[in-house]
Amino acid sequence: MPPVLGVIRETAPGETRVALLPEHLKKALAPVKGGPPGWAGVVQAGAGERAFAFDDAYRAAGAEVVPDADAVAARCDVLLAVGPPGADLIGSMKPGGVLLGLLDPAGGGDHLQACAERGVTAIAFERLPRITRAQKADVLSSMSTAAGYRAVLRAAALCPKFFPMMMTAAGTITPSRVLVLGAGVAGLQAIATARRLGAIVEAYDVRAAAREQVLSLGARFVDLGGVSSDAETAGGYAREQSAEEQARQREALAGVIAEADVVITTALIPGKPAPRLIDAATVERMRPGAVVVDLAAPAGGNCELTEPGATVERGGVRIDGPVNLPAELPVDASRMFGQNALAFLEELRDDGAVRVDLDNDMVGPACVVHAGELRLDAARAAPSPAPTEEAPS
């Protein structure tokens, strides 16, 4: 019998995504090169309905639909989840089973300890190495793409001005000025989306390598004198800057921010609080009606006044702190997540069975719990070969 994939209904507040759509399950369940099915599938009833994927579509794809999450967990060899499930559900999983998803290994929840106690292997997409071979499974980049796109739409809805220049009977309407801080995957998608909407776009990133990417999208790269150009890690991420560097950066950025109609911030340091790029004094300098959309809100925010999960107004400036932008695009965000998950599943399948090979250059670095032991430090320290072209936001 082929190994069983399990898909559950996400329970986090506001979460609309599903780990696999019916189209993905159909591919996973298809025979391998004319042989037996690659996987069997069991899906919790209602798992995909918030992404407009209904139970009948899962049945048509060949999956069995069962009433509750515990029944899925008890039967599957690999449980796919967008976000970390609760410890109680993990307690229903088979010892030796695999939990695969965005598991927030730096968040300190009890789900990873529950995996260790149950003998469940936990593999976190957040720890996937930045190597070319792993791009096909890069969930973080996919979700950052969704977040960058959606952030611009939120900004456009909050902004009291048109984004594009318009020639009207009432005269010429000047375009909005959009500033994007952080030119990783989310930032680059925000730049491209704002440009498509007709705004004048500027962008800034501490990594010197980001300049060419920003210019290629038709935006202006903001060059701040006195800010270190050696700001990129070997894995392609922005390194954490010193307090002195951050202070210089805030001071140099303040004038540029004050001239913007919209500021979209995306700066994140993996496993660290988000760097503060906009302080309260800078917000006071912004023009009334200006908008800040802070994609770093879940990590504390790039703006001092950000309140995660809320939109607040200070001196006529609206500051938006979204905490799960991909969930606002459940169909395509789920499609991207599922396609990445399918690619990673190929690394786990071995001759009709599930095999966790810690020497695999994708599996080993992403594995955070195995054989009853937490591997957070081992996963973090796993070697990462040459970075991919785009560094994450």
Question: Active-site residue among 9, 127, 130, 375?
Answer: 130
Is 146 a member of any domain? no
Residue 241 among the catalytic residues: no
| Domain match, 255 and 200 both | yes
Question: Active-site residue among 92, 189, 237, 335?
Answer: 237
Q: What is the DSSP letter of 182?
A: -
Cite the DSSP H helix spans in 8-138: 22-29, 55-60, 69-75, 87-90, 111-118
Give the range among 26-40, 123-137, 276-290 with minimum mean pLDDT: 26-40
Question: What is the token pair recorded at 267?
Answer: 């700066």
Round to whole Å and give the CA distance between 111 and 118.
10
Query: What CA–CA distances, in Å, run from 216 to 30, 224, 322, 390?
Result: 41, 19, 28, 13
Residue 135 among the catalytic residues: yes
Question: Active-site residue among 138, 205, 294, 320?
Answer: 138
Residue 228 among the catalytic residues: no
Question: Active-site residue among 135, 196, 332, 349?
Answer: 135
| Domain match, 13 and 126 both | yes
Q: What is the pLDDT of residues 191-202, one digit of tens each?
A: 999 999 999 999
Q: What is the DSSP letter of 77?
A: S
Domain encompassing residue 286: 159-323
Give the range among 144-153, 224-233, 336-345 with minimum mean pLDDT: 224-233
Is 144 a member of any domain? no
| Domain match, 337 and 285 both | no
Question: Active-site residue among 44, 141, 144, 384?
Answer: 141
Residue 248 among the catalytic residues: no
Residue 138 among the catalytic residues: yes
Flag whether the pTM goes above 0.85: yes
Q: What is the pLDDT of residues 223-240, one digit of tens each?
A: 886 444 555 544 555 555
Phi, psi of 46, deg, nearest 5: 80, 5
Is 148 a member of any domain? no
- pLDDT computed for residue 389 by the predictor: 35
| Domain match, 335 and 304 both | no
- Which residues make Cβ contacts (< 8 Å) with residue 316, sequence separation at least 6? 287, 288, 289, 290
Domain count, the chain: 2
